[in-house]
Structure 1
Amino acid sequence: MITIYVNQKEVSLKPNTNILQLLQSLNSPLQGIAVAIKDDIIPNANWEKHLLSNQDQVLIIQATQGG
């Protein structure tokens, strides 16, 4: 198992888990969000390719409407 932090909360995952799998395991919406790892935004086209590493700091941001 690896340990990552999602919005500062500890999460344990199997090794070789990608961002898409993480989002699915968290029941997160896949539209209208942005994902950053170590302050780098990961484009949603790369979510399946980007494997998470032990101690990664993941930030999931939900887009909101406003004006």
Structure 2
Amino acid sequence: MTVFINSEATDVASSFKVEDLLEQFHLAQVKGLAIAVNDMVLPKSEWQNHVFEENDHVTLIRASQGG
């Protein structure tokens, strides 16, 4: 199936979960990460069980220090 990750179409397995996404993008150990699905922030408490659906739009946001 296709999901859009940061606006880029990506083919993934039909059972693609957040943990798969984090592994694929080497983000499993990254702190300060937020994930939005279809413009709604996905609470970290739901990451373990969330399965993406066809044509979901996923936005990965990483906090950074700035000034």
TM-based fold match above 0.5: yes
Q: Which residue of the partner structure matches residue 49 of structure 2? A: 49
Q: Which residue of the partner structure matches residue 16 of structure 1? A: 15
Please give the TM-score of this superposition, normalised by the length of structure 1. 0.87
In structure 2, C-alpha distance between the alignment counterparts of 1:61 and 1:39, rounded to whole Å = 12
Report the 3-state secondary structure (helix = DSSP H, G, I; strand = E; otherwise coil) of the residue aligned with 2:50: coil
Which structure 1 residue ranges, 4+ long, deviate > 3 Å from structure 2? none
In structure 1, the gaps of 5 or more residues are: none
CA RMSD of aligned residues (A): 1.3
Q: Identity of counterpart residues, as a percentage?
A: 27
Larger % of strand: which? 1
Q: Deviations over 1:15-60 (max 9, x none)?
A: 1111121111121254211000011100122111110001000000
Report the 3-state secondary structure (helix = DSSP H, G, I; strand = E; otherwise coil) of the residue aligned with 2:36: strand
Please give the TM-score of this superposition, normalised by the length of structure 2. 0.87
Give the partner amino acid of 1:20.
E
In structure 2, the gaps of 5 or more residues are: none
